[in-house]
Amino acid sequence: MAVLDDRPRPGKAATITAEAKAWLVSLACRKAKELGYPHELWTTRLLARHAREHGPGEGHACLGKLVQGTACKILNEQEVKPHKVRYYLERRDPEFKAKMAEVLCVYREVKIIKQTAAASKKKPSGAVAIVSYDEKPGIQAIATTAPDLPPEPGVHATSGRDHEYKRHGTVSLLAGIDLVTGRVHALVKDRHRSREFIEFLELLDAAYPTHTAIKLILDNHSAHISKETKAWLADQRAGRFEFTFTPKHGSWLNLVEGFFSKLARSVLRHIRVASKQELKDRIMAAMDEFNQHPVVHTWSYKLDNAA
């Protein structure tokens, strides 16, 4: 197979040694600020300049004329990108697995309720209602300063909108999805404190028969465990409300997050309103539309592994 080998080519042999490359890569794996620069991360131009200035002093004279392009090639060979950041989430809850198992057990209970109803060909008994709840704060009420331009064939394919806009403040959506029926319970408020959360609990209390046990999956927001909330719960019938909390940094375990994603992509994306009240009305109109065609959200990932 020697006939397939490349013939020797003219040109200068590589002058950057393996040791110099290793030094450059190790340098790239440190932060620029550790070496006295104001930069948080390296730029490839800054890295090459630092190598030119300090490489020969470290015994790597071949780096004295290093250019940015060569530095990039050396880093690419080792798949190192010091100018980029990829975020990760550190698990800070020591009881993460135990709390996750509790949430999954509730989802398994939902599955059993659905299977029982399907086997008997009857609606669920209504003894238990399981609601996935969360808040979506900071929904912006933004107004246009000029009329939108509709798409026009042969002229512009998309809607046209002026770059300038006017802010009218923000609102918070408090929403819960019944995981058995798919019904959405929602309130839109200016804030999301304990009093607003209690108002949402009162909404749930009125939505279900008095004999129904209402189980909520929710996070550890201060409003959910405040003195005001605990005092209100203490006045309710025993067993009426039961909370299952997701672990810290475990909001992805809450099915309502998928609903919020759908809402953001289908309703809130590019929304423009003349006032905060119009934003509230349109969000609640969206909730009514969702309830006309309810979607039952189902959790399946690692459900069989629940304790």
pLDDT of residue 2: 62
Please, what CATH class does the domain formed by 96-305 belong to? alpha beta
**Is 246:253 a contact under the CB 8 Å cutoff?**
yes
Q: Report mean pLDDT in 10-residue bins for the chain, 307 residues.
A: 68 82 95 94 95 93 93 95 90 87 92 88 87 96 93 90 94 96 96 95 95 94 94 94 93 93 94 95 96 91 66
Sole residue written with tokens 């246009």: 144
Nearest in space to 143 (alpha carbons), one of 119, 166, 176, 163: 166
Rounded to the nearest 5°, which phi and psi values hold at 236? Answer: -90, 165
Rounded to the nearest 5°, which phi and psi values hold at 144? Answer: -85, 155
- CA distance readout (Å), 103 to 91, 177, 214, 239: 17, 15, 15, 18
Structure tokens at 94: 């020591």
Sole residue written with tokens 């129904």: 212
- Residues 117-176 pLDDT 10s: 888 888 888 899 999 999 999 999 999 999 999 999 988 899 999 999 999 999 999 999
Rounded to the nearest 5°, which phi and psi values hold at 124? Answer: -55, 150
Structure tokens at 198: 């209690």
pLDDT of residue 26: 95
In terms of DSSP bridges, do strands 213-218 and 241-245 run parallel, antiparallel, or are they unpaired? parallel
pTM value is 0.80
Domain boundaries along the sequence of the chain: 11-77, 96-305
CA pseudo-torsion sign 174, 209, 245, 109:
negative
* DSSP secondary structure letters along 67-110: -HHHHHHHHHHTT--TT----------TTHHHHHHHHHHHHHHH
pLDDT of residue 119: 87
| Helices 44-54 and 68-77: angle between axes, nearest 10 degrees | 100
Question: What is the spatial order of strands in the sheet that 213-218 belongs to?
Answer: 184-189, 165-178, 128-144, 213-218, 241-245
pLDDT of residue 89: 82
